[in-house]
Amino acid sequence: MKSITVKTAQNEYILSVGRGFKHKIAGLLKETYPKSKFAIITDDNVSALYEKEIAKTFDELDLRYDVITIKPGEKSKSMSVFSDINSFLAQKNYNRADVIVALGGGVVGDLAGFVASAYLRGISFVQIPTTLLAQIDSSVGGKTAINIPEGKNLVGAFYQPSAVYIDMDFLTTLKSVDFADGMAELIKYAAIKDAQMFETLEESDKIDANSEILEELIVRCLQIKRDVVIEDELDRGERMKLNYGHTIGHGLERMCAKSGRHITHGQGVARGMAAITAASEALGQTLPGTTERIIAVLKKQELPTDIDGFDKDEILQGILVDKKNMAEMLNIILIDEIGKVYIHEINSGEVERYLK
């Protein structure tokens, strides 16, 4: 098992990464919190696959716990589910010595983290991420949030976990579409920060949950995320660079949501990375040949790369939906070349140039 330490202004915690240690997590929790009660928040899918196995390890150590199961999917990151969980905790007399455990993907992690930040003004919070996206990204760095009708992730807090246990064995049961979504973010980390990691992706076959190099890739993403979070915990500068591919990706997601079409977050980000890089390359802001390399790596992981079938004006509306007028400035994230990312400030009116 590998350990990575994250030291933020809020606290210091360890990310433990490896395979085959999920049955040991209850013991590790008992060592840190010998007298606490644990509220394990999970979703129906993860519960069906892992609840019995995890609960058994808690039972064997006589730990006190409850399991709170939510419906899978983005809709559960809502004010009403947030409220129901807080009521449950209050009714069961959870106090400040007790611990919230997020067992699931980014949806469970974001929701459980926000509950932990708010219940009794903050109680301890541990992440056991079970999707690739959650293992390389969302479980680390303390961004927690729920959605409101006006927009995604609009209500939340910066609240760091106390520990993150990353057992890659969870990934063996992920659907391939969910695995590919995580791969989009993994490729993003390489493209923005690590040319050598990107070359590894170019040289390797399609990656799956059992690939030998997956652990090394996950660890590298976590180190990058750790470094970015340490530098900019509150997302005021450096952390924005993690949004490479996300401006167009989010625009696509919003546009599709409006028209009843569905694309996943990873599919949006994959298309967004390819599209923004093609545009910046055409504008002379990115080393020639970079787009081709990005598209080849994305395609190998069976991710989509073009925005041709989508209405550009609608994507534009999707991008600018948060902007009150076209005169506002917008930060877009570009790469000079593989591994070198920068923030480029443009007038919102210029976004169209990056959708060509």
Ligand X SMILES: NC(=O)c1ccc[n+]([C@@H]2O[C@H](COP(=O)([O-])OP(=O)(O)OC[C@H]3O[C@@H](n4cnc5c(N)ncnc54)[C@H](O)[C@@H]3O)[C@@H](O)[C@H]2O)c1
Alpha carbons within 13 angstroms on the beta-carbon side of residue 25 total 27
Q: Kindly tell me which residue out of 82, 114, 141, 164 binds ligand X, with binding defined by CB under 6 A.
A: 141
Q: How far apart are CA 194 and CA 321, in angstroms?
A: 32
Q: How far apart are CA 288 and CA 175, in angstroms?
A: 35
Site string for ligand X, 247-286 (x = CB under 6 A): ----------------------------------------
Applying CB under 6 A, does 135 fall inside the site for ligand X? no
Select from 130, 131, 105, 102 the least CA-distant residue to 117: 102
In the complex, residue closest to ligand X by CB: 106
Q: Are 139 and 113 in contact (CB under 8 A)?
A: no
Q: How far apart are CA 201 and CA 188, in angstroms?
A: 11
Classify burial at 19, counting beta carbons within 10 Å of its beta carbon; exposed 0-12, middle 13-18, buried 19 or more.
middle
Applying CB under 6 A, does 318 fall inside the site for ligand X? no
| Choices 14-22, 43-51, 252-260, 346-354; region in contact with ligand X by CB under 6 A | 43-51
Smallest distance, Å, CB 289 to ligand X? 29
In the bound state with ligand X, the residue whose beta carbon lies nearer, of 98 and 110, is: 110
The distance of Cα 334 from the centroid of its chain, to the nearest Å, equals: 20
Site string for ligand X, 77-116 (x = CB under 6 A): x--------------------------xxxxx-x------
| The pair of three-digit structure tokens given for residue 10, joined into one six-digit string | 């809020």
DSSP string, 51-78: IHHHHHHHHHTT-EEEEEEE-SSGGGSS
| Choices 171-179, 214-222, 275-283, 318-326; region in contact with ligand X by CB under 6 A | 171-179
Name residues contacting ligand X, limited to 196-225 (CB under 6 A): none
| Choices 42-50, 118-126, 246-254, 345-353; region in contact with ligand X by CB under 6 A | 42-50
Applying CB under 6 A, does 130 fall inside the site for ligand X? yes
In the bound state with ligand X, the residue whose beta carbon lies nearer, of 225 and 293, is: 225
Applying CB under 6 A, does 332 fall inside the site for ligand X? no
Q: Kindly tell me which residue out of 153, 211, 285, 348 binds ligand X, with binding defined by CB under 6 A.
A: 153
Q: Kindly tell me which residue out of 57, 173, 200, 204 binds ligand X, with binding defined by CB under 6 A.
A: 173
| Choices 92-100, 170-178, 273-281, 323-331; region in contact with ligand X by CB under 6 A | 170-178
Smallest distance, Å, CB 257 to ligand X? 13
What would you report as the CA-atom Rg of the chain, rounded to the nearest whole angstrom? Answer: 20
User: Given the DSSP bridges, would you call strands 37-43 and 12-18 parallel, antiparallel or unpaired?
Assistant: unpaired
In the bound state with ligand X, the residue whose beta carbon lies nearer, of 36 and 131, is: 131
DSSP string, 156-219: EEE---SEEEEEGGGGGGS-HHHHHHHHHHHHHHHHHH-HHHHHHHHHS----TT-TTHHHHHH
The count of residues interacting with ligand X (CB under 6 A) is 28
| Choices 173-181, 286-294, 309-317, 327-335; region in contact with ligand X by CB under 6 A | 173-181
Residue at token pair 């076959």: 205
| Residues of this chain that bind ligand X (CB under 6 A) | 43, 45-46, 49, 72-74, 77, 104-108, 110, 130-131, 133-134, 137-138, 141, 143, 153, 170, 173-174, 178, 181
